[in-house]
């Protein structure tokens, strides 16, 4: 059918028509809000490259979490900045570690809010890598054991879901096994299945104080040039028992998100990472773009590409804007 029989503008002519034929919807139910919990008290320190996002000690993070809950956001994703770091990231799997204490405090104050924890070593190691170092590289198999301990201690503290972000091979299976052995067979794993070695994590590393002290993460995170490899990574994690798979970063990898949506029927998450947030905040702060419009369009783009869950620092703003209608 061609012009003049076909006129695309007929169903675009007024808002009610547009509403009726709209293919994608964004809801507050889609959102996960990431937060940074810092050891100590009385801390609420804005991350300079991420306006509106803070490193905060437990009393403040609880308030922030309650605000997210009151806005209708179903879940938060927690990152920890421990008191001390060491070569083996001991705080990560200590039952009195920063995340364990934070989970307990949030679950006590806001029990209805789903608390997801990031499971990785880089925030807890003095060298800033996501695992144990052997011969100048992150050692896969010895790291698995620590990740499993970390996940277990998060869940023991009350975490509702764990999200391994380290990119070691076999970690989903290792975590699933230890959770099941300890009676936590009901706890889902949201795996950072497809995580690229990305420059977009820059501001996060300031926020989580997790910059690698030597080298980079390219021996474990994925090469941004690779698309087929994403399918292999996802297949492996699904085989190992992942309940939700994630693509990260978001905007430069929408093709990957769509590939996974077409290939798998599991719930799919996307991480709209720190650098993506910072770019929008910088442009909006300069008056160069309309922040609300650009953020909502970005969120819709994730949904259209196939995401069910969007992890985003914009979550509270998005929830407010959706409420206003
Ligand atoms: C830790 C982790 C990172 C992010 C989430 N978990 C950083 C990294 O891998 O260097 C990035 C999140 C963001 O940039 O917002 N492994
Ligand atoms: Zn890490």
Q: How far is the CA of 194 from the centre of ligand 1 (A)?
A: 12
What are the residue ranges in the chain where pLDDT is below 50? none
Q: How would DSSP label each residue in 260-271?
A: HHHH--S-EEEE
- Integer Cα distance of 279 and 22 in angstroms: 28
- Residue 325 is predicted with a pLDDT of 73
pLDDT tens per residue across span 267-283: 999 999 999 999 999 99
Q: What is the pLDDT of residue 324?
A: 87
**Structure confidence at residue 289 (pLDDT):** 98
In a domain, 184, yes or no: yes
Q: Which residues fall within 8 angstroms of residue 111, CB to CB, at 6 or more apart?
A: none
**CATH number of the domain bearing residue 84:** 3.20.20.70
Ligand 1: does its nearest atom lie under 6 Å from the Cβ of 125?
no
pTM of the model: 0.98
32 lines ligand 1 (CB under 6 A): no
18 falls within a domain: no
Report whether residue 273 contacts ligand 1, using a CB cutoff of 6 Å.
yes
Q: How many domains does the chain have?
A: 1
pLDDT, tens digit (0-9, with 9 covering 90-100), for 35-70: 999 999 999 999 999 999 999 999 999 999 999 999
End-to-end CA distance of the chain: 36
Which spans in the chain are helix H?
Answer: 15-21, 58-70, 98-109, 140-156, 171-181, 202-208, 228-240, 254-263, 274-285, 291-305, 315-324
Asked whether residue 73 is domain-assigned, the answer is yes
Cα–Cα distance for residue pair 84/18, rounded to 1 Å: 54
In a domain, 10, yes or no: no
Residue 150 CB less than 6 A away from ligand 1: no
Is residue 305 a part of any domain in this protein?
Answer: yes
Residue of the nearest CA to atom 14 in ligand 1? Answer: 201
Placement of tokens 């998005």 in the chain: 318
Query: How many CA within 13 A on the CB side of residue 261?
Result: 16
The reply to whether 120 falls in a domain is: yes
Distance 34 CA to ligand 1 centre (A): 11
Domain annotation covers residue 103 = yes
pLDDT of residue 85: 97
Residue 8 lies in a domain: no
Beta bridge mates, 306? none
Domain interval for residue 253: 24-324
Centre of ligand 2 to C-alpha 211, Å, is 9
In angstroms, the CA 198 to CA 127 distance is: 19
Choose which residue among 81, 204, 216 to substitute to test ligand 1 binding: the one with the highest number of ligand atoms within 8 A of its C-beta.
Answer: 204
Cα–Cα nearest to 75, from 240, 284, 267, 301: 267
Is 307 strand, coil or helix?
Answer: coil
Q: Which residues are catalytic?
A: 195, 248
Residues 6+ away with beta carbon under 8 Å from 247: 193, 194, 230, 253, 256, 257, 260, 268, 269, 270, 271, 307
Distance from the alpha carbon of residue 204 to the mean position of ligand 1, in angstroms: 6
Residues, beta carbon < 5 Å, ion ligand 2: 120, 122, 130
**What pLDDT score does 297 carry?**
98
Which residues lie across from 268 on neighbouring strands? 245
Rounded CA Rg of the chain: 20
Q: Write the residue with the smallest CA distance to atom 10 of ligand 1.
A: 201
Contact 217, 130 (CB under 8 A): yes
């Amino acid at each position: 059918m061609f012009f003049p029989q076909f006129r695309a503008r007929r169903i675009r002519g007024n808002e009610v028509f547009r509403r009726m034929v709209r293919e994608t919807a964004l809801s507050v139910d889609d959102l996960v809000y990431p937060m940074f919990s810092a050891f100590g008290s009385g801390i609420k320190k804005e991350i300079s490259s991420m306006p509106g996002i803070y490193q905060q000690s437990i009393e403040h993070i609880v308030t922030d979490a309650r605000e997210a809950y009151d806005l209708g956001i179903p879940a938060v994703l927690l990152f920890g900045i421990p008191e001390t770091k060491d070569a083996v990231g001991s705080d990560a799997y200590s039952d009195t570690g920063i995340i364990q204490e934070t989970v307990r405090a949030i679950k006590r104050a806001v029990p209805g809010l789903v608390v997801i924890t990031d499971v990785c070593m880089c925030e807890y190691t003095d060298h800033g890598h996501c695992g144990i170092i052997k011969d100048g590289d992150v050692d896969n198999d010895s790291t698995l054991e620590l990740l499993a301990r970390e996940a277990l201690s998060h869940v023991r503290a009350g975490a509702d879901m764990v999200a391994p972000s380290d990119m070691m091979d076999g970690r989903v299976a290792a975590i699933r096994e230890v959770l099941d052995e300890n009676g936590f067979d009901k706890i889902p794993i949201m795996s950072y299945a497809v995580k690229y070695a990305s420059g977009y994590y820059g501001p996060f590393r300031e926020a989580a104080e997790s910059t690698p002290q030597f080298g980079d993460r390219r021996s474990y995170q994925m090469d941004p040039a690779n698309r087929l490899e994403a399918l292999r990574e996802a297949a492996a994690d699904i085989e190992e028992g992942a309940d939700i798979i994630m693509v990260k970063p978001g905007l430069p990898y929408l093709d990957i998100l769509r590939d996974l949506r077409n290939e798998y029927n599991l719930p799919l998450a996307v991480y709209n990472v720190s650098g993506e947030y910072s770019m929008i905040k910088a442009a909006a702060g300069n008056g160069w773009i309309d922040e609300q419009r650009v953020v909502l369009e970005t969120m819709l783009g994730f949904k259209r590409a196939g995401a069910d869950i969007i992890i985003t620092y914009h979550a509270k703003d998005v929830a407010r804007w959706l409420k206003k209608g």
